[in-house]
A = this chain, B = another copy of it.
């Protein structure tokens, strides 16, 4: 397979996205994730424009990257000076990375309007700056800004800017669609011409998704001869975002036959994407191609049926090839056929025509009308199935809780929860202080149950999410709480719904404990 090198710019272009900001620790962790996936370059900041970026590069030297080269990003030298007298170039050099990406103007319009210099001086700026870093032993990647617009306007000059970089020993010449306005067929045609002109350089593509074309442009450019692709793993970037590598890489590798990452790493792509989203404190959108939770989710009766008969009918690739999995969604639309496999996992004797199945589907619809959603809450769905079938053991029974939250704080914490419950025939009262009312209640519940169920000491809350459901109702809105718990070996998610966030959280908390007690105590109720 022909190799294609990948440069990830999550830490540079990605940090330009609205709502994204990385701490130094986030950046180090993201660099480890990107290296783990096996990408070739990690573009990690602009040391000249941002002292925090320079500080990061200093710390980053301690990262033991197995494959990726760190890359610092900066602009060509100022007009009318020399690279070795330029402060920005000095800062870039100080970052001490094996590779540098130098951005220069690829369009005569921008030379004139933005740089306000002559075409010849722009060429000299590009050549000098590239040569300066090449002589200092850096691998130089030249990013030709506005290249496609510039080529449309004045192809001869656009090519001259690349020639200047090549004379300065740039190893990679990157064609940038800076405003994201190109179409893939335009990008492919221009890339093909450029590849013909520069047989000695690798040609790269840097696409933005403003027109919704970034993935297609990246793949089309590779088909036209590009061998270096720039993007960001999750598509983070200014405005609409950069080319999302989590879509570009599997398209190139699984469908078009290029080698980007090791095959074993590709089979964990979804896990890398989830870890990166978690560090970036964003949700990995369900509809993200290849790696989203919905990417292989089937809801319609016909589709859910068809995909079981022949997966290729409704799946463009095997989800396992990118570490994702097929899901048949539980919802009123899916009906009995989709619910049945879930029911049979718990009760193998229930068949498709069993009235018990009808009761479970009815209970599900009823809860969905009340605002519950089980699409992400598998453990609560298991409990719903079991409760519509049998009386589950009463591991504990809530008598009452009271949560008091006040300002000014009493002591160091704002909230106190008092809980009374019955377990094993005894009444137990527990009190706890917490950072907020839900935390206090959570601590009180664990405190009360510890004596009865020591195994619960291993259980941790892993994720806590709140969704306001009818937010237009203001502070009186209904709230859906999802809690993910884990005990080191397993993870499970439960759901609660109420107008009261504390009550919704209580419901999800209580379910999460019942779920693991049912499994740990092997009481299967049949």
Contact = CB atoms under 8 A, between A and B. Distances in A.
A315 B441 CA distance: 50
Contacts of A506: 407
A251 B212 contact: yes
A16 B498 contact: no
Interface stretch (A89-97, A179-187, A192-200, A343-351): A179-187
Contact of A179 (B18, B316, B368): B316
B436 A219 contact: no
Interface stretch (A266-274, A292-300, A423-431): A292-300
Interface stretch (A62-70, A132-140, A395-403): A395-403
B406 A406 contact: no
B179 A212 contact: no
B180 A316 contact: yes
Contacts of A241: 287
A358 interface: no
A402 B403 contact: no
Counting chain A residues whose Cβ lies within 8 A of the other chain, the interface size class is: 35 or more
Interface in A160-189: 178-181, 183-185, 188
Name the residue among A240, A285, A317, A461 with the largest chain B CB count within 10 angstroms: A240
A16 B475 contact: no
Nearest to A312: B179
A257 interface: no
B503 A475 contact: no
A457 to B, nearest CB: 15
Contacts of A255: 181, 183, 211
Contacts of A525: none
A483 B395 CA distance: 40
Contacts of A247: 211-212
A5 interface: no
Given A181-B317, A436-B499, A474-B462, A15 B240 contact: no
Contact of A215 (B213, B238, B310, B461): B213
A313 interface: yes
B407 A400 contact: yes
A452 interface: no
Contacts of A469: 281
Contact of A289 (B18, B185, B209, B278): B209
Interface stretch (A78-86, A301-309, A516-524): A301-309
B239 A436 contact: no
A114 B293 CA distance: 27
A477 B15 CA distance: 23
A265 interface: no
B375 A316 contact: no
A302 B13 CA distance: 12
A313 B463 contact: no
3 closest A-B pairs by CB: A461-B474, A181-B316, A216-B216
Interface of A: 15-19, 21, 49, 110, 113-114, 146, 149, 178-181, 183-185, 188, 209-213, 215-217, 219-220, 223, 235, 238-241, 244, 247-248, 251, 255-256, 278, 281, 285-290, 292-303, 306, 309-310, 312-317, 329, 331-333, 368, 373, 375, 398, 400-408, 414-415, 434-439, 441-442, 460-466, 468-477, 479, 483, 498-503, 505-506, 509
